[in-house]
Amino acid sequence: MNLSAFLPALIGGILIGTAATLLLWLNGRLAGISGILWRSFFAKPGDVMWRVLFLVGVVGGAALYYALFNDEPVARENFPVWLLVVSGFLVGYGTSLGNGCTSGHGVCGLGRLSLRSLVATLIFLVTAIVTTFVVRHVFGVM
């Protein structure tokens, strides 16, 4: 097994955990992207700025990585637009209803040993694995 291929993934993961640590330790907030994002539309005036700045930081951090390593993602050529729209709607609706995504339930929820987050993480992981199988191998969409 070529372990060096997993090094960026491991370091990236450690940085994500470090960012969540900073936000909880300094600001007392959990670094769940969907909650920070969706609630920025409905939050009270004084509760909006830190959310927006966190998200601006996320974009800036990714921009810095792309600039340093020239590793911008490339769009798929034949992926159906309607599937992206359906996928987006499900992700938005589901993370709002279930109060969390990979970062909130996965990284932060597991970190604080929340049973709700453990159950949510297992459910969305298994559902995503089944869905990917159906989309790729039953319908042949890549």
According to CB under 8 A, which residues from 15 to 74 bind other proteins?
A: 15-39, 41-42, 49-51, 53-66, 69, 71-74
Q: Measure Cα distances from 38 to 33, 76, 95, 109, 139 in Å.
A: 8, 27, 9, 18, 32
Range 107-136, binding other proteins (CB under 8 A): 107-117, 119-121, 123-133, 135-136
The nearest distance, CB 4 to other proteins, in angstroms, is 11
The binder of other proteins chosen from 45, 78, 137, 140 (CB under 8 A): 137
Nearest 10 degrees: CA dihedral of 39, 25, 59, 16? -110
Asked if 84 interacts with other proteins (CB under 8 A), we say yes
Tell me the CB-side half-sphere exposure of residue 68, using CA atoms within 13 A: 6
